[in-house]
Structure 1
Amino acid sequence: MELRKGLEDIAIKETSITYIDGELGRLYYRGYSIFDLASFSNFEEVAYLLWYGKLPTRHELDDFKSRLAEERSISEDISTFVKRTAKFGNPMDILRTTVSMMGLEDRSEGDLIGKAIKMTAKIPTIISLIQRTRRNQEFVEPDPSLSHSENFLYMIRGERPSPSDTRVLDVSLMLHMDHEMNASTMACLVVASTLSDIYSSVVAGISALKGPLHGGANSEALKQFMEIETPDNVEKYVMNKLSSGQRLMGFGHRIYKTMDPRAKILKEYANQLSKNEEIKRLFEIANRVEEIGIKILGKRGIYPNVDFYSGLVFYAMGFDPDLFPTIFASARVIGWTAHVDEYLKDNKLIRPKAIYVGDLGKRYVPIEER
């Protein structure tokens, strides 16, 4: 048996959802380039594409938007739990628990995508309640007349966002919807392959995404820029970090050997959002870290990934840094559930092997003789 640590280069299923060309830095959802979708599409349309395998007609999209909007409200039990834990709990722990609560409340059978729609619609409401509770602000009820991203920002800010800010969040969420067989998607599939329920699968995905090597990297990348403080400090900071064997947060990817296409798009939006002095300074720092990092690490195929600029974009839009992984999850739940739905059509229990390297035939020693 060949040992492949981290299951590197091991395929566990065929998929028609997402294709990644790591050498050229290309990403496709259902055959559509992420650059085209980011330029011309929107959150609801891409979510529909991933779940149903095609772009919707006008009538289908209108019905789909209405269905999402109708599911945004959360129960009193979930609301009470969030309010009680928001000021001391890790947001990903709160989100994980509230998704479990959704599963308890949903007694319906079947309709996996219907349950996925419910989670996708309610998660932004939970995230906004966390942030506004900890800031001692009154909760903003979701507005069904607004689009998904517009409503998300409205609940966070308490006022309707500009079309440009709405567009930035729309594209940011689209870029985070799916990325083939990443750690959190794999976690979802392991659970789903046992024929457990979709809420349990998503809880597993959230748990995996919480880790700093996965969804937690975006807040760590922003923290890195804040630690540097000024563009003049970048070169010394980067050299000290790399010479001591530490990682540059937001750099490197298991698949991409060039710059992550999502990072290219988010860089443009981070620049667009650089309106006040703080964000402008942080963007200049990030841009300088990118230049020096690529000069040193690019030779080894290590380039900025999606996390490098996403944290800066979320921060500029008004989200608390420790909420960034929950925003990631609010979009990735679409990819998780799309892959689960696809996998279950030809399900096989995921049960890998381990290579035993211990002793055999050892004599049992009674406790009195140990």
Structure 2
Amino acid sequence: MSGLDDVIAAETTLSEVDGLNGRLVICGRRLDELAGKTSYEGVLALLYADLLGEDEKTIRTRLGQARLRAFHHVAHIDSDLLALSLTEGLRALMARLPDGEDKSTALLLTAAPAVFLPALIRRKAGEDAIAPDATRNHAADMLAMLNATPASAAAVLALETYLVTVADHGLNASTFAARVVASTRAGYTSSVLAALGALKGPLHGGAPGPVLDMLDAIGAPDKAGGWLASELAKGERLMGFGHRIYRVRDPRADALKGALQRLGAAGGMNAGRLALAEAVEREALALLRFAKPGRTLETNVEFFTALLLEALGFPREAFTGIFATGRVGGWIAHAHEQIAKGRLIRPQSIYVGPKAA
């Protein structure tokens, strides 16, 4: 099957993924204009222009209030829910939220992952969940709820850069799932749950963790070339390299590499870990150009995502949920756009089974 490659399924004003030139545009703004320079609330002001029509400062206030509302649902975390994976636990808590197509529902859904994920991480570790502080910005409050102490300015900027970088990315699998469900008028919560189900799959949102497994297996910069060459000889995929759409370097990789370097300069990550990652990236790109000369396989967003989230103290099992924390803004914006401007999504299929008698 083609996977619907090159099929146009929607018109959008939200984001443009230019795979040939390695550009990501969010609501008319290039990623390099936003990442590390704009807050997550600022990007929501762009994505939610038609939905909320509010500025960054107002969204920050309303999002803080929504985090307080979301925290009430943390009381429902029980042993059965804790037995689930973090992604499944997040999905279960999100399913408790009311459905609708109103602004209040949209804000609650946007706020909830940043509250639920730290609570699940802490409760799984046998610790109490930390209540939100509505006066903080979204990234700062998420880190404070994770660590029970205010985060450094460098850590907040790093997480904020990540959330901005992954906020929207065209009609990817989870966003398409959200638009399909929204087209039925099922509501924003149903749309977000469908998107989260799609994101759970390892071919979409589940790949950053294995990047760290690869770095752990290599261990030292001088071992990178031999280990990577051995994996390629066995036909294994090098995690963190190549992308379905980008035919040049993924611009999100550069945004997150810059965030990592700033975090490292501020003493927020292990210098040896960053040196190992840079050696692995350098060796992998050289080997891929030699082994697969007919393909362009560059560093993708997953490579530096893994390092950044690890440096911020998130466990590997949480990476998909943190992705959802940023991408939920795009999901809801696309759901709103589909409801406002689209029709029921109902593609055709071609029957290739046995003929009836």
Aligned equivalent of 2:3 = 6
CA 1:74–1:277 in structure 2 vs 1: closer, same or farther (change >3 Å)? closer
Report Cα offsets for 1:23-56 as digits up to 9, x if no partner: 2211111111111112421111111111116998
Distance in 2, Cα, partners of 1:54 & 1:346: 12
1:263 and 1:308 in contact (8 A); partners too: yes
Aligned residue pairs, count? 352
Aligned equivalent of 2:320 = 325
Please, which of 123, 130, 148 is the counterpart of residue 158 of structure 1?
148
1:237 aligned to 2:234?
no
Distance in 2, Cα, partners of 1:39 & 1:171: 5
Q: CA deviation at 1:280?
A: 2.8
Aligned equivalent of 2:251 = 261
* Backbone CA RMSD of aligned residues: 2.3
Please, which of 236, 240, 246 is the counterpart of residue 250 of structure 1?
240
1:24 aligned to 2:15?
no
Q: Which ranges in structure 1 are unaligned for 5 or more consecutive residues?
A: 363-370
Give the stretch that moved more between structures: 47-56 or 180-189: 47-56
Distance in 2, Cα, partners of 1:28 & 1:277: 29
Aligned equivalent of 1:205 = 195
Determine helix, strand or coil for the equivalent of 1:357.
Answer: coil
2:36 and 2:157 in contact (8 A); partners too: no
Please, which of 32, 39, 42 is the counterpart of residue 39 of structure 2?
42
Please, which of 300, 305, 310 is the counterpart of residue 305 of structure 1?
300
CA 1:284–1:89 in structure 2 vs 1: closer, same or farther (change >3 Å)? same
Distance in 1, Cα, partners of 2:80 & 2:155: 29
Distance in 2, Cα, partners of 1:83 & 1:165: 30
Letter in 1 for 2:110: T
Please, which of 109, 112, 121 is the counterpart of residue 122 of structure 1?
112
1:353 aligned to 2:353?
no
Aligned equivalent of 2:276 = 285
Distance in 2, Cα, partners of 1:83 & 1:226: 33
Aligned equivalent of 2:334 = 339
Distance in 1, Cα, partners of 2:263 & 2:212: 15
Report Cα offsets for 1:146-189 as digits up to 9, x if no partner: 11111111111111111111111111100010000001001111
Determine helix, strand or coil for the equivalent of 1:28.
Answer: strand
The normalised TM-score by structure 2 is 0.92
Aligned equivalent of 1:133 = 123
1:116 and 1:333 in contact (8 A); partners too: no
2:182 and 2:336 in contact (8 A); partners too: no
1:17 and 1:53 in contact (8 A); partners too: no
Give the stretch that moved more between structures: 199-208 or 187-196: 187-196
Aligned equivalent of 1:368 = none
CA 1:361–1:21 in structure 2 vs 1: closer, same or farther (change >3 Å)? closer
Structure number with larger C-alpha Rg: 1
Please, which of 80, 93, 97 is the counterpart of residue 92 of structure 2?
97
1:86 and 1:133 in contact (8 A); partners too: no
Q: CA deviation at 1:203?
A: 0.5
2:252 and 2:301 in contact (8 A); partners too: yes
1:195 aligned to 2:185?
yes
Letter in 1 for 2:130: V
1:178 and 1:334 in contact (8 A); partners too: yes
